[in-house]
Amino acid sequence: MVYNKKKFAQEVAYYRKALAGKLGKGKTCLVEMRLSNEKAFFSLAPMSRAVHELGADISVFVTQKESRMLKVLDKTWALYSELKHGKETREIKALAEFIKSVEKKTKSKEFSRQFKKPDLYIIAGSDAFVMEEKRLEFKTGWFRKRLWKELLATASKILKQGYGIKKRDIVSVGFDLIPTAKDLELPLDDYLGSLSIIYTFALKAASLCKSVSMGADTSRKSQLEPMERISDLAATIIGCEYEKNINEPWFTTFRKLSPIIGADKLKYSTASFGIHGQGYGGKHFFGLKIGYPTPNMKTRWQSPGTMLLKPYWLEQTKQDPRPALRRHAITDTLPLPNYIRTCNIDYFALRKRDEQIRDVLRKCSRLFAVGIKTPQGQTNLALDTMHLFSGKGPILTSDIEVNPITPPEAARVFKTKSGRYGNFPGGEVFFTPHKIDGTFVGDVVISIDKSYVIPKSQPMLVSVKNGKYVLLKASPEIRKALEKRKKECWKMLNVFEKSKSMPKKMVKSMRQNFNNLGEFAVNTNPKARLSRYLIETEKLANMMHIALGSGYEPGRETMYHCDIVINAPKQKIDLWGVDPKGKEHWVIKKGKFVV
């Protein structure tokens, strides 16, 4: 037992009893604390579980000093409360005009729900939480510091090498809260341990950069569910502030509101890091119903996060001349030893290894991946890689790609002012396949809404023809989860089309790409091990992975991206290419690197 589960259960019961009269289904609470308050932070584990057991939502703000966003939210909530009480001032009128313009466009009163203040506001003092003049004790009996020095060292390596962090950087960090036992589909220890990962990351970042903030909110089981309303409002304010000079009624009215609520004083983070365990953030109302237009008005973004990041593979990035303001990377709720082992590495050495493999692949106009025949099927793929050979498509790497001094491979190819996105642990060489035919056997793990271990007795068998896939075999659990994900994504496309928050041309492209293979990758991290966690196993050197759905090129994206890991050593896969002169170039022989 890694953490004290008995103590954790007792502490959950304490918070549940204290909050029972305040929170219930449909309600939300806000928790505010300082980064230096370690006991308050680790008390979030039993507190968030208790809030979720009561059926309520929770939104957490952790800052070094006073939060500008919270000041903006407090002002907005106060104005909305006065509006509902019939008061009339210039400031209240500005808010009313903004809300009215959005409701008129969306033909819905749903937007107003965002502006209702939290049902409960909890502030962490120096020695206890304060809730409506009542005190709640910090509860950290469940917690013990494990591998603390190693976690700090790992954070330092990620920040210095992976991000190339600078003193001027503003860092934002997202983390997972604790679901109910019924909704917990990953080990509880992973979630509890992830708080140590994220807290040490924030502490190290605070010593290296200008400022750090942390945030978390209740996740959703479905991407069709509305976001937690505090985070939904915060996203709306951030997006509309960035777009306030766009000549559309809702942005014009927000331009008047912005200085009143202090949104014009907000600072965007330049580097962000987050843990993603399971579930979704939920629907962002404004992005889903209206969207955030590019300056030329030819297309629209669906979230402020992607708009500020501007990933190179999104069609919107080609149309938006504004520079990316942020770089972003994620990890998973990995056990602490896994995280330390795979992430505390020499990223520059990893880059050299990745570039060796990329150099081999660049020589090839055709690529082949062939494994042994098994009763469950065979990996036997043929790829036309002429688009890579001719330089029309990038071969990408996962190592130091969120470091600003890293050559932006995709930005060069696609002539975009794009941001950087990456994973930690890193370690892969990948590209978007265009013409690919054959079959492959996925026999390790797949990521859908979380990581699913592929049963040894029921590996996935996928058929591919001209880049389109058909799932031939899979376990009932995996097939059901994938079908659910795809069904929800298709519904999202229908909503985007109906609301016109995404251009018809883009919706059509996403539908055309819906059953594409989106990624072909060679894994390269020498410290990764076979595990249930996709983000580690898809980096395990000598293995490979292939993704269903969205690709990493403009015009190749769709609404989902599901990675499937292939055990190349077990399948004794040969991976080699042929150049236009017919010469062979090998990457893997019988499941082992030869590069």
DSSP 520-534: EEEE-BTT----S-H
Tell me the average pLDDT across 278-297.
93
Q: Residue 209: beta bridge partners?
A: none
In the predicted model, what is the mean pLDDT of residues 494-505? 93
Using one digit for the tens of pLDDT, what is the confidence trace for 191-243? 999 999 999 999 999 999 999 999 999 999 888 899 999 999 999 999 999 99
Residue 447 — left, alpha, or beta (φ > 0 → left; ψ -120 to 50 → alpha)? beta
Distance CA(149)–CA(506), nearest Å, equals: 48
Mean pLDDT of 407-434: 91
Report how far residue 374's alpha carbon sits from residue 183's, in angstroms, rounded to the nearest whole number: 36
Provide the b/e sequence for 52-63 (b: ≥16 CB within 10 Å): bbbebbbbbbbb
For residue 554, cis peptide bond before it (omega within 30 degrees of 0):
no
Helices (H), 136-284: 148-157, 188-208, 229-242, 249-261
Residue 554 has pLDDT above 90, yes or no: yes
- Could you give the CA distance from residue 413 to residue 553 in angstroms, rounded to a whole number? 10
pLDDT at residue 185 in the model: 80
Q: Quick check: 285 and 230 in contact, CB under 8 A?
A: no
Confidence of residue 117 (pLDDT cuts 50, 70, 90): very high
CA-wise closest residue to 403 among 265, 529, 271? 271
Whether the pLDDT of residue 116 is over 90: the answer is yes
Question: Is there a contact between 135 and 128 (Cβ–Cβ < 8 Å)?
Answer: yes
CB atoms within 10 A of CB 217: 25
Distances (CA, A) of 26 to 22, 29, 57, 118, 280: 12, 10, 7, 11, 18
pTM: 0.95
Tell me: pLDDT of 407 over 80: no
The C-alpha torsion from 542 through 543 and 544 to 548, rounded to 10°, is -160
Q: Does pLDDT of 277 surpass 80?
A: no
Exposed (0-12), middle (13-18) or buried (19+): which is 401, by Cβ within 10 Å? buried
Is the confidence at residue 366, as pLDDT, over 90?
A: yes
Quickly count: other Cβ atoms within 10 Å of residue 86's Cβ: 7
Of 264, 232, 276, nearest to 110 by C-alpha is: 232
- For the chain, give the percent of residues with pLDDT over 70: 100
- CA torsion sign, 122 to 128 to 130 to 131? positive
pLDDT confidence of residue 417: 85
DSSP 469: E
Q: Please, are residues 388 and 579 in contact by the beta-carbon 8 Å criterion? A: no
**DSSP 3-state assignment of 492?**
helix
